[in-house]
Amino acid sequence: MSEDSNVGIAERSERPRTLRLSGAVDVARVRPLLDVARSCGAGGSPVIIECSAVERLDAAGLQVLLALAKKLRSANLDVKLRGPSEAVLEAVRLAGVETELPIDEG
Amino acid sequence: MALTEKDLSRFEATFFEEAEEHVATMEQALLALETSPDDSELVNSVFRAAHSIKGGAGMFGFGALAEFTHALESLLDRLRQGRDRPTPRVADVLLRSADTLRGLLDAARLRGQEPTEVGAMRESLERELDAVGGKPNANGSSQARDRHAGPQEIRDVEVAFEPGCELFARGMDPLLVVRDLLSLGEAGRVRSDLSSLPDLDALDPEVWLPALRRRASHGGERLCDPRRVRLRRGREQDRHHAPSPRG
């Protein structure tokens, strides 16, 4: 597991890969998020974004998640949100990207 | 353009500096209201100060501060319509609210605990708002809603919002603009045009690229840079059929 403890972003290497987010996922912390997202995107497996502990998600953070979803979808791989917090649900609703970032019901 | 922690800190510091000035303006105007309760410009100046603080608080994610100023703004908005002059009791609530606002600003700046009286003060504001016959709406402005209240005036409007790439560098979040837009109408729908979103490997995460569109029933009100917003009437069939999530 690689982890950046400063930004609450962690990636677990298994199938599907899990990207764990917590705290503020915003423009101030978007660089490490992008690094982890690129790592997930290169894994060749579906990705679950565990985001129940996200307290804030702004457009910068959302943009990275959307770019990750776009990359994986082009390879016929899914990206799903697991246990999205209110902050995540609100950001997804405001951006109208429920289709691109669906919730994992499993 | 890369946005650094230092940039954000500078934006925040500017917000707090300006917010302190706004609170001082509010206090001066509220004190003046005690001797000049019919001076509508005093109420206007307090409203503008509260509105500015609310906007900045929302932008920087200070939720408690934004919510409190929302309640304060709702009452002030009602007063500034001139239907009710501020009674001594209302003036007292507003003055004490300014104190609470200072405490909330300190809490936000220091990432500390919010003042204990916040809940009680907010209830007082809402009680006074009820007493003058108003209810806070989603954007804190009953006037905007009243202006378009006639059913014959409601129409479908599509707003195309194309935030500039430099948005993040200016410390702004387009989602907050969308939230404000949604608060103006009912049953608004948002869809993002992601066609310009670059590949993950080429993405500069500090530059905003997708454009946002929303559709809502509303008379139309401009909230942001007019060069980046387009309004047009919805098509007749759109009034009865929800648009697809992707355009």
Using CA atoms, how far apart are residues B58 and B158, in angstroms rounded to an integer?
24
What span, in angstroms and rounded, lies between the C-alpha atoms of B140 and B74? 5
pLDDT at A71 exceeding the cut of 50: yes
Residues B160-174 pLDDT 10s: 776 666 666 666 788
Summary mean pLDDT of chain A: 84
Determine contact: A94 vs chain B, CB below 8 A: yes
SS3 B117: coil
* Residue A52, pLDDT score: 94
Tens of pLDDT, residue by residue over B105-137, are 999 999 888 888 999 999 999 888 888 765 554
Q: What is the DSSP letter of B151?
A: G
Decide if pLDDT at B139 tops 50. Answer: no
CATH of domain A2-95: 3.30.750.24
Looking at per-residue pLDDT, the higher value among B5 and B236 belongs to: B5
Domain ranges of chain A: 2-95
For residue A67, give the nearest of B3, B197, B214 by CB distance: B197
Cα–Cα distance, A100 to B152 (Å, whole number):
37
Q: pLDDT tens digits, residue range A76-93? A: 998 999 999 999 999 999
To the question of pTM greater than 0.80 for the whole model, the response is no
* CA–CA distance, A12 with B201 (Å, rounded to integer): 20
pLDDT tens track for B58-70 = 777 788 898 899 8
Task: Indicate whether B207 pLDDT > 90.
Answer: no
Interface of B with A in 171-210 (CB under 8 A): 173-175, 178-179, 182, 189-192, 194, 197-201, 203, 205-206, 208-210
> What residue segments make up the domains of chain B, in order of their start?
5-141, 148-239
Helices B174-183 and B40-59 meet at what angle, rounded to 10?
130
SS3 A47: strand
B189/A96 CB distance under 8 A: yes
**Given a cut of 60, is residue A70 above it in pLDDT?**
yes
Average pLDDT over residues B20-34: 90
Which structure tokens are listed for A13? Answer: 């290497």
Using only C-alpha atoms, chain A has a radius of gyration, in whole angstroms, of: 12
Q: Going by C-beta distance under 8 Å and a sequence separation of 6 or more, which residues neighbour residue B218?
A: B148, B154, B155, B157, B184, B185, B186, B188
Second CATH level (architecture) for the domain B5-141: Up-down Bundle (1.20)
On the question of pLDDT at A13 being above 60, the answer is no
Tokens of B139: 């954007």
